[in-house]
Every structure is written in structure tokens, then in C-alpha cells.
Amino acid sequence: MKKLFYKILNTALCACVIASAGAQDTVRYVGNTLSNVDYHHGQLSPVIGVHNIQVFRANREHPEMAEDFGWTYNHAPMICYWNNTFYVEYLSNPVGEHVPPGQTLILSSKDGYNWSKPVVAFPKYKIPDGTTKEGRPEVAKDMWSVNHQRMGFHISKKNRLLAFAYYGLIVGVKDDPNDGLGIGRVVREVYKDGSFGPIYFIRYNKKFNEKNTQYPFYTKSKDKGFIEACNEVLGSPLITQQWNEEADRDDPLIPLKKEYKAFSFYHLPDGRVVGLWKNALTAISNDHGKSWPENAVRAPKFVNSNAKIWGQRTSDGKYATVYNPSEFRWPLALSVSDNGIDYKNLLLVNGEISPIRYGGEYKSYGPQYVRGIVEGNGTPPNGKAWVTYSMNKEDIWVSSIPVPIIEKPTAHASDVFNEMAEGKELTLWNIYSPLWATVKIEKAGDAKALTLRDYDRYDYAKAERVVPAAKRLIAEFTITPQQNNNGNLAIEFQDAKGTAAARLVFDSTGNFYTKAGYRNRNLMQYRGNETYNVRVELNTDTRFISTTVNGKTLPNGLFFAPVAELSRVVFRTGDVRRFPDADTPTDPMHEKLPNAGEKDKEAVYRITSFKTSAK
């Protein structure tokens, strides 16, 4: 009887261990922080030192300022790093999603901050007249395809860069280009001088072949190295799994043929592969992606809707997932794992939503459809993680994320920019830098300055410094507004959730004021091109804010919102944005903001030093 008891007990314990081991094989979120979609930033603390850089700004009125076409639906970017250069590929349509014609463009950068003008890599493609699509009554006549790709680049073992796109069929209203009934996938090489090789098909859908398509099959290339690189791609299940949505539904190259979307992956130290899909679906492959469990599962406690989720191993040996942790496509956030399975926190990457300037079909608000650098597609300098995404399916952005990923500062700010090492001045600053509202270190006479320039009537520049949390904070900065008759610079003092307690503003009428409850209280007049040494003391217990400018004490004020502690100082060339919110209808079809492609009068603010301390 005793032996039977111990046998049953042993069996039960083994079952518990097996169940526990099995549980460890599922990616999960084990933290407690959640995002609040009533705020664009989700009330999340930022990853210190993230730089958000706009690399393409759509412009219908002045195509020459954009990509020479004036197309305003731009989405699904991919990124790689090769030949000491970043490359970003994205798809584009004239107005809205899945509305022909479509094309794929590529732009590049040596440093991730200064980007080339986009060039067409895969041009619009005419659907052969007479083409029909299973389940649809339409017959193609003078129709164009749209582009739809979930995978953009591959660096071969012999260091050749291939770029990819997919031509999908849209033959009528509510048709879908990624239903497995399209034309096929195309490939071309990117050369070291930035030029492109010829376009070839690398994979056809069933109704198409060399006889009814306008590009040859890749095996017709006279470049054996190119053919070898293509064969390498076709032989990699982790690459072809990314083709799942567009491929034939019985394509033998696709290991897992379920209707899972936007596959990304990373390897664990034991060689297993974690797969991630939209809606935070996840599974683990034990054979490098050749096979997967029959069904993926929703990663426990991960919040993610029908937008992409990105996962990767970071340069410090940890792991990061980047995604929208809500049922909406904001904010863009990040979670860290020590082992690639258990994700323990939730931090902000980009908490901004610029206005949609041009309406169009299925243009969702927010920074979305994030992708990073796929394993094997390059290692950027300084160990940073780089991701790319679209804003509102209209503009293209990248973010550089410092590694290790840090959320709490170890010391107060003591930044005298002219005394800091070249290229290191903004290491601890978070920046939001649109193309027409930039945040950069620039020379101001003989001195370097943190410079905010803004001539974007619908967006703003923002520089933010996270400092040690304090109940009594002192902030000192030296600033030179270059004008006093236009522009608007707000300086906000916030807590860890981004709640502003106090705000100072250099406005467009020469006034320097503070927000006092409902109203604004003027403190002094200021002049353009004059330097101001500003000292601000803030006390969260008394809610007092005391301001001194050039040694002159200005009237004290009260916080307009109570906070327990202060831990962020923000410089922003625009007003607070609260639109859209969770109740805003998405897909603004026909809206267009006035003069959306026109520049505003430029405003410039130069900050030569910034220091904080706790009293």
C-alpha cells in the first residue's frame, strides 16, 4: 500500500514538473504594468535614450519634398543594416490600403538619422488583361496590382543584400491581396553603391509563371552568386514562414500554414526558436522553424490586437518585444525578458500620434506595424536595437533603442552640451524628431546646443530628460529662442506616468508664461535671439513652482495638477495632443488637413545646458 502511495505521489510530482516545464515553453508577460489608452503614451515610463526619427513624410501637394509621387498611404516598413548602411523598405499606395496601384520603395542612411530620398525598388505592376480571381466575378482590364510583403530583406552568407516584394491581386471592392491568390514574390539585389540589380520572380502563385508575368524567374539570371543567394532564401524555413499570408495555401515551402499573420522570430540559447504573430500568438519550434506545434497560443497576459509584434535578442543577451500593448495602435511599447520567455516590464518607445493629414481607407491612428532587424540581417553599431514602423499608415519612422534597456536614471542631469563628447550629447535624452520639426545637436556660434527647429504646422519637436524621482526638484537650463513672434515652446515637469504638474511656455507673442489652473499667467516678456538662464524650483508637497530668469525672481505659481514626485522634464514645440482617443472613429476616409504639405514659419530654440538636482 505504501509503495502504491509513493508511486502515485511520484507520478503526480512528475506530472507537475512536466506541466511546469511545459508552461515555461510559452512566452508570457509576468509584469504588472498595463497601458492606459486614454493617453497616447499609455502612462508608461520611457526607455531612457530612445530616439524617434521620422524618415519619410508624405506630401501630396509637393511630391518633390517626399518621393516624387505624392502618395499618402505608406506602411509596413522593414529594416536591415548592411555595408555600414541602414535600409528601410516600405509599401505605398496613392490614397488608401489595398487601393491600386501599389509599389515598394527603399531609402537608406549611414547613421540612422539622416536619410536619403526614397527610390522605387519594385514599381507598380499591370495585371494581365483577362485575369480572374477565384471566388470573384471581376475580369481584369487595365488594372494594377498592389504590393503586400511581410518580409523585406535578406543578407546572404556571402554578404549579398536581397530585397523582396510581393504583387497581390485586387480586382474589386473588399478584395484582399494576401489571400494566396496573387501573382507572386519578386526579388532583386541591392548593390554596395545603392543601385539595384534586375527584378526577378522568386516564387509564383499558382496561376502565374514565366509566360504570363513581366519579369523572368530568378534562375534565368546569369549571376550564379545571385541564384545561390535566392536558393539560400528558399531553403530557409524561417524566411519562407514570413511568406505565409501571400503564398499558395498549400505551398510546401511554408512550414506552418495556419492563418497566422506577420511572423517574427528569435532563437533561444538552447537553439529553439520563438515565433510571434499578430494578436500576440506565439509558439516554439524545436528544429529551427522546420516544424511548429499544431496551434499557436495567445501569449499569457500579453495585450496586443491586430497589429504586428516584434521580438529579438538584444546585444546584452537579453530579449525585447516591441508592440502596441492595447486594442488600439498606440502607444508603441517595449518589454524585456532575461530568458526570452518571461517578459517582466512595459516601457514606452513612442507615445506620440501625429495628426492624419490625408484621409484614406483603413488608415489607423498611431505608431504601428513595427519591425526590427531580422537575425542575420546586420548588426548596427553601439549595440542598439533599431525598429521601424509607420505613423498612421502615412509616414515612416525609425527608433534607436539603447541597450541595455534602462528605465531609471542613476544620476541627475548635468549636461553642458559643448563640453560633451561628439555624438554622445543626447545619449540620455529621449527625442521625437519629425523631418519638419527636428531635434538635433547643432553649433550655435562657438558652442553646441540642443536645438529644436519646427516648421511643421501639424507636428512638433520634443526632447525629454528622465531624472531621478524627487519631491523637490531643481531644474536649470540656458535657452535662446531665436524669435519671439512665432512658435511655441512648452517646458513641462512631469511624473513617471507623464502627468504634467507645471508648465512654462515661450509663446508666439513674446510672452513667457506659466499655466495656472484654467488660465495662463504671464511672467515676463522675452526677446528673440536673447539668452535666458532659467532656474525652476518645484515642491510636490506645497505644489509651488518658483522661477528665476537671469537672476530675477518671477512670481511664484501653483502646480495645475498634483503629483507625488517629479521625474521628467520635457521641451516641446507644440501644445498637448489628446486626439485621437479610444472613442475616435478610425479610418478617416476623406479628411484632409488644410495646407498639409506646406511649411510653416520656422521657430528655433537652442538649449546650451540643462542641469537638475533634488533639494
Residue-wise pLDDT tens digits, 450-481: 999 999 999 999 999 999 999 999 999 999 99
- How far apart CA 539 and CA 545 sit, in angstroms, is 7
Distances (CA, A) of 333 to 148, 352, 466, 474, 575: 25, 11, 17, 29, 23
**Which segments of the chain have a pLDDT < 70?**
1-24
Position 4 scores a pLDDT of 39
Q: What's the confidence (pLDDT) of residue 532?
A: 98
Amino acid at 247: A
Residues pairing with 545 in the sheet = 538, 557
Q: Convert the pLDDT of each residue in 105-160 to its tens digit.
A: 999 999 999 999 999 999 999 999 999 999 999 999 999 999 999 999 999 999 99
What distance in Å separates the CA atoms of residue 71 and residue 61, rounded to the nearest whole number? Answer: 10
Q: How far lies 528's CA from each of 531, 532, 560, 606, in Å?
A: 9, 10, 28, 11
69 φ/ψ sector (left φ>0, alpha ψ -120 to 50, else beta): alpha
For 558-589, the DSSP string reads: E-SS--S-EEEEEEESS-----S-TTS-S---
C-alpha cell belonging to residue 492: 513641462
Residue with cell 530654440: 605
Predicted pLDDT of residue 587: 79
Look at the block and give the residue holding cell 559643448.
418
What's the confidence (pLDDT) of residue 394? 98
Nearest CA among 314, 261, 320, 268 for reference residue 289:
268
| HEC-encoded secondary structure of 368-394 | EEEEEECCCCCCCHHHCEEEEEEECCC
Q: Cα–Cα distance between 357 and 346 in angstroms, integer? A: 30
CATH class of 420-614: mainly beta
Residue 106 identity: I
Question: Where do the domains of the chain lie?
Answer: 26-401, 420-614
Which residue(s) pair with 232 in the sheet?
A: none
Q: Assign domain 26-401 one CATH number from 2.120.10, 2.60.40, 1.10.405, 1.20.120.
A: 2.120.10
> In angstroms, what CA-CA distances link 390 with 166, 325, 393, 576, 590?
19, 16, 5, 21, 20
